[in-house]
Amino acid sequence: MRIFLVPVFLIIQAIGYDAKTKILKVNYKSGSIYTYFQVPAQIFQTMLTTYNLGIYINSHIRGNYHYQRFIPRYI
């Protein structure tokens, strides 16, 4: 899986994409990790060039692809 650090966005820490499995991962600075399934490579490529990644995720990813959310538990 390719991982990209995204330092310019306040809430997103990193994004990653595996073209073979079409899995997109979005790591938030809060520690939450969203894994989206069956995301086309073109969607990910557009994410890399979008002006506002948060808006892009909300309008093109959320609600359009099945996902799994991981919330870490801190002790």
pLDDT at residue 75 tops 60: no
% of the chain exceeding 90 in pLDDT: 52
pLDDT of residue 2: 66
pLDDT one-digit tens code per residue, 42-72: 999 999 888 888 889 999 999 999 999 998 8
CA separation for the pair 9, 71 (Å, rounded): 20
* Integer angstrom CA distances of residue 66 from 25, 51, 75: 12, 24, 29
Q: What is the mean pLDDT of residues 20-31?
A: 91
> Minimal CA–CA distance to 37: which of 24, 51, 20, 56?
24
Better pLDDT: 13 or 21: 21
DSSP 53: H
